[in-house]
């Protein structure tokens, strides 16, 4: 059995997502003004799918982009 971390008082429950949302707000949301919800939705989609998942260096991956990391470890496996 794997214990659930989603109980009250566990500060590590959403640590990864809290970090991601903080980064998203800091790098995209703050400083931009969106006129329509669709415009904000498109900008967030592009940030995640184009920049964050393909280009942005991730400290958890040894300062490589997810694409680089995946490519290197596909070659090893």
Question: Which residues, at least 6 apart from 62, have a Cβ–Cβ distance to it below 8 Å?
Answer: 69
CA angle 31, 36, 41 (to 5 degrees): 75
Tens-digit pLDDT profile for residues 11-47: 666 777 888 899 999 999 999 999 999 999 999 999 9
Task: Render 22-52 in DSSP notation, one character per residue.
Answer: HHHIIIIITT---SSHHHHHHHHHHIIIIII
Q: What rounded mean pLDDT belongs to the chain?
A: 86
Global pTM? 0.70
Tens-digit pLDDT profile for residues 52-76: 988 999 888 899 998 899 988 887 7
pLDDT value for 4: 59
In this structure, what DSSP letter does residue 63 have? S
pLDDT value for 51: 93
């Amino acid at each position: 059995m794997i214990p659930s971390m989603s109980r009250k008082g566990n500060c590590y429950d959403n640590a990864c997502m809290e970090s991601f949302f903080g980064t998203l707000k800091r790098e995209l949301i703050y400083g931009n003004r969106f006129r329509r919800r669709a415009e904000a939705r498109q900008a967030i989609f592009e940030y995640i799918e184009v920049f964050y998942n393909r280009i942005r260096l991730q400290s958890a991956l040894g300062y490589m982009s997810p694409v680089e990391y995946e490519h290197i470890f596909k070659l090893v496996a």
